[in-house]
Every structure is written in structure tokens, then in C-alpha cells.
Structure 1
Amino acid sequence: MAPHLLRERAPAKVNLTLHVLGRRDDGYHELDSLVAFAGCAADLLTLEPGPSPALAVSGPFAQAAGPEDGNLVLKAARALAARVEGLRTGRFALTKRVPVAAGLGGGSADAAAALRLLARANGLAADDPRLMEAATEAGSDVPVCLASRAARMAGRGERLSPVTLPPQPAVLLNPMRPVATADVFRALGLAAGGRMAAPAPAAFADPTEEIARGRNDLEAAAVRIAPEIGAGLMLVASQTGCRGVRMSGSGATVFGLFETPQAARRAARALSAAAPGWWVRSTLLR
């Protein structure tokens, strides 16, 4: 790797809980979600500083990443350039290792990694407010991905509160079927101004208890679109030592939580054998 090449990991975001509070009059859904990030499931983004932004995409999920002009990496770079006069950008190279349209915030994590790289290339402090402004413009999930640490998201995702979460050994399982977020929210069927019948559980002092009592309000709608999600939930729940299973985001990835990393790795091996062709990773969520 060239010495002037900057490098960032873009870890997958996992929604440990996802409560839909209602749909606002502007069409956006009001959410409350406890999120964490996967240590062993991440895209890789590099930046070779230069005069103008460019992007090359490779890796096992490159074809699903979408056209260059629609990629969130460039959208985030443009948003920051509009706020920082003379911003030095350059050529990004993205290695897509995380499934696309999978409920793991892959594109948002990539955009956040781009902002971190641009901050390093331009000597911007990590807490420079222009980074968060650009993240908010780039997408609802980009602000929480900027720090890539456990947090509570509220509103559209712009209201963030850090959470102290013990590392959670986990397995991620995806049936290799993309699921569009817009389709899932449409299937949820909330009209503008509508509220969910079930209220969000109250916050607990111990986030692990909150995870156990929480839910993902998009899960049923996503299963109607992609029944493979239901099969994945049952597969993970059947693994020895699994202490909880849920869908992440709008799907189709599901996760199971385990007592130890060793138990998670054993489950990942068993799931790889039981579901050949599916994407499986054991990880620590934090």
C-alpha cells in the first residue's frame, strides 16, 4: 500500500432493537433504535488524496453497490466539500465485503468512513460539526456510523445518545436476497400521522435487558416480502447457546446473540453447513 494512501474500515451496523413510533407528516418514520457495530463484518475504504473525487468499487458485493454517481461515498464527499472551502478530496477505492440492501447499513457505513478519511486528509477534528452536518445530509444512518460505536438513534436517526454496551458475541446470517428498505416501510402500512399500536419498551439502565425486551417492528413486514428471513430466524434460534435472535434493520440479515465468542463461532460453522450459499459471520457487537 502506498504510504500516502489512507485507509478506514466501515463496520456493519446492527439494529439490536428497532421500534417504529409512528410516521410523520413529512413521510419519514419516527424511530427509536439501539445499534451496535460488528467487529468482523466490514467494508474497506481507502483514499488517495487528490484534486477531485472519484470512486472505484471492488469486492464480492461490488456489482450490487449501485452506479458510481449514486454511491453514498461520493454523496458524503460532496456534502462535506460544500461546507469546507478548499476541501482536499481524491480517489476512493471501496472493497464491498458486506451484503447490500441487507439491513446492515453498509452504504451508510461507507459514507461515514469517507467522512473520517476526508477529515484526516484535511486536518479536521473528529468533532468538527461540519462532519455531522455532512453525515446528516448523506443519509439517516450515516450520523451513527460516523463514530461506529453503540448508541441509541431517535427521530430519523439524527438524535444520538452513546450507550455503554458490553461486547456481544453474535452471528450474522443473510440469505443473499436484497430487501429494499422502502418496500418494507411500505408493507408496514403506516399512513402519515399514524402511530404504532405497540409502544416502544421503556429504556433500561442495563442495555442487555433492553435488548432482551425489545423488538424489531419491521420484522413481520420484511418476512412477508422475503420469507427467507423467517427461515433464517428459526435457523439461528436453533443453534446451541443462542440467547436471542432478531432481524437487523429492514432485513434480510438476522442475528443471534451468544454467551461466548466460542459459542458464536461454533454456531457460524453449523449455519454455514446448514445454509450453503448464505452469508454467515461470527463477530463481536460493540
Structure 2
Amino acid sequence: MTNPAPSPVVHARAPGKINVCLKVGAVLEDGYHEVATAYQAVSLFEDVRAWPADDFSVVFTGTIDASGLAVDGSNLAIKAARALARKAGYRGGVRLSIEKNVPIAGGMGGGSADAAATLLACDTLWGTDATRDDLIEIAATLGADVPFAFTGGTAIGTGRGDQLSPALAKGQFHWVLALADFGLSTPGVYNELDRHRERHAQDIFPAQIQPSVDTNVLQALRAGDPRMLAEALHNDLQAPALHLAPGLGKVLELGEANGALAGLLSGSGPTVAFLVADADSALELQVALSASRLRVVRATGPVHGARIIHD
């Protein structure tokens, strides 16, 4: 995709995401679910710096406590670098430093952003001549959200979430994100969804095998209308996540009582994303939630996907 980097370090950046709509299909025989989601990339970024090395290593910095993250071959960024090296026949390694700003296990795709930025950084560092399609193909083998972190913007994801089609989105949406001091396991939340559906089988419609994104979500994105989008926000994983972490319900109530148009859990949670009308409303909500001792950041979307940053 690129020529070898002339400098000894390459800096790539990729965004976190919010699922403004997430529909989850019925559990399949292999234990997985088909999903239909509307992704929006937001201005909370992971920054990856890559240096030439003989082997593969990673360290973490940034605003997020990453002390619990693996730094061996099980780390998704290391997996991304190794996958590209295999594809390109590259025999060296890379030393990675990742500045984390997206919550860990927070439902915002931070690990996926690490992997997407690593693919782009290593492609540039090594001069692998991989095409964009090559990199997205590798991204899809790493996790369902990795291709979207690579492409960014606004998109519809189907299948496992990795089959992407662009979605028209006008203007800019303003979000206030309440960050939890704990994580939620994505498989754990999906398992709880299956149990939730079994418990309430008499009261809810059976889940579709292949769900779809509501047309009112697509219309709201096309119109660039936050109030219209607020009416359409939906996440099938929210009820099971709230069952696992009931305190998140109070966070949702607090945000909506202090001016948010609507709130929802991002992905499998526990990050709570509040949609607001404009930048002034975002600042007011940030102040109100911070006064309740919540850790809060503001973000806008949509933003670009993974790209090289020239320091």
C-alpha cells in the first residue's frame, strides 16, 4: 500500500466507535450471532507508533490504565503485525508503543483500533506494498470491529459486523461518553442476551437469524439530525449488560435528566454514550456528569478511519 517509511518511526491513528444501532440475531449452532449494526467512528483515538525491530513487542501509554493488558502474542496489535508479516513475507519484527484513549473492554472497539492502526503503521514501516483491500482482508481475520476501525466514517456492518457498506451521514454528531472503571466481557454479554431471550421467550418476538438496521436510523444519519437519531438509537445488548451491571441504569438516567437527547450503551458496554444537540450541550452535560464523579469525555463523529500521522 505504501513505500517504506524514510524515518525510523511511523505513527498511525485509528478511532473508537459507537454502535448507534445494534441488532443481534438468534444464536447459531456455532455459538455466534449474526448482527446488523450502524457504526459511527468518533474522535477518541488510539495512537500507534512503530519502530523496526528483530522481534514483536508492545508497550502502552495514554489516559487509560492498560496495566492489565497482555503484551505477548495474544495481544491483538501483535497479532495484527504478525499477520501482515506473514502475508508480506517480511522476516523482521516491530516495536509498538500504543497511546490508549479508548476504554478497555468498554464496547468502543479500542483493541480493534489498535489492530487497525498497527496494520497501517507496519505496512508503512516495512513497505509491504499491501493494497487497502489486502489490509482490510487481514483486519477481518482479527476481529469483527477491526475492518471498521480501518475504514472509519459511518457504515453498516452485517454478518459478524465485518461486512461493511458505507452509510450516508450528514454533518457532525456530538457525544458525551461516561467511562466505567470496569470492563464487560463481550462474550459474557452475548451469553446473557441468550439467557435473557430464554427467560422472556413468552413476552418478546423470536430473534431473526439475519437482523437488519432500522430504516429510521439510516434516515436520521442522512439528515444529520441528532433529535431524529436520538429517537432511533437501539442496542439489543443493553438489557443483558444492565442485568450484569445494574449501576449503569443510574448513569443512563442521570445523563438523560441533565440534557442528553438519549443515551445507550456502546456495543457490549459498559461505556454509556449520550447523544446531545450541539457542542454547548455536550459541555454542559460533561460538567453535570463530572459533578457526580463520573469520568466523562466529549467526542464527535463521524471521523476518519486509520491513517498515518506526520508528526
TM-score, normalised relative to structure 1: 0.89
1:185 to 176, 186, 190: 190
Give the drift of 1:186: 0.7
Q: 1:154 aligns to what?
A: 158
Q: Is the 8 A contact 1:6 1:117 kept in 2?
A: yes
Q: Structure 2: how far apart are the matches of 1:10 and 1:104?
A: 12
Q: Which amino acid aligns with 2:69?
A: A
Q: Which amino acid aligns with 1:230?
A: G
Point out which structure has higher relative CO (alpha carbons under 8 A, 6+ apart).
2
**CA distance change for structure 1 residues 231 and 68 in 2, over 3 Å: closer, same or farther?**
farther
Q: Structure 1: how far apart are the matches of 2:233 and 2:291?
A: 30
Does residue 273 in structure 1 map to residue 273 in structure 2? no
Q: Structure 1: how far apart are the matches of 2:78 and 2:155?
A: 25
Q: Which amino acid aligns with 1:265?
A: L
Q: Is the 8 A contact 2:15 2:45 kept in 1?
A: yes
1:215 to 234, 243, 246: 234
Q: 2:133 aligns to what?
A: 129
Query: Which consecutive aligned stretches of 4+ in structure 1 deviate over 4 angstroms post-superposition?
Result: 124-127, 197-201, 208-211
Q: Which runs of 5+ in 2 are unaligned?
A: 1-5, 198-204, 303-311
**CA distance change for structure 1 residues 159 and 87 in 2, over 3 Å: closer, same or farther?**
farther
Q: Is the 8 A contact 1:64 1:100 kept in 2?
A: no
Q: 1:244 aligns to what?
A: 262
1:48 to 43, 48, 51: 51
2:281 to 257, 263, 269: 263
TM-score, normalised relative to structure 2: 0.82
Q: Deviations over 1:92-127 (max 9, x none)?
A: 011222221111111111001101111222345674
**CA distance change for structure 1 residues 38 and 111 in 2, over 3 Å: closer, same or farther?**
same
Give the drift of 1:164: 2.5
Does residue 15 in structure 1 map to residue 19 in structure 2? yes
Q: Is the 8 A contact 1:168 1:285 kept in 2?
A: yes
**CA distance change for structure 1 residues 67 and 119 in 2, over 3 Å: closer, same or farther?**
closer
Q: Structure 1: how far apart are the matches of 2:128 and 2:93?
A: 13
Give the drift of 1:67: 4.0
Q: Is the 8 A contact 1:169 1:261 kept in 2?
A: yes
Give the drift of 1:138: 1.0
- Identical aligned residues as a percent: 30
Q: Over aligned residues, Cα RMSD in angstroms? A: 2.4
**CA distance change for structure 1 residues 125 and 261 in 2, over 3 Å: closer, same or farther?**
farther
Q: Is the 8 A contact 1:37 1:150 kept in 2?
A: yes
Aligned residues: 279
Does residue 175 in structure 1 map to residue 173 in structure 2? no
Aligned pairs (5 A) from 1:29-178: 29-39=33-43, 41-59=44-62, 60-86=64-90, 89-123=93-127, 127-165=131-169, 166-178=171-183
Q: Deviations over 1:163-205 (max 9, x none)?
A: 22231111001221211111111111169xx951796553244
Q: Deviations over 1:58-108 (max 9, x none)?
A: 333211323432210001111112211126541101122222111111111
Q: Which amino acid aligns with 1:243?
A: L
For the residue of structure 2 that corresponds to 1:230, the secondary structure is helix
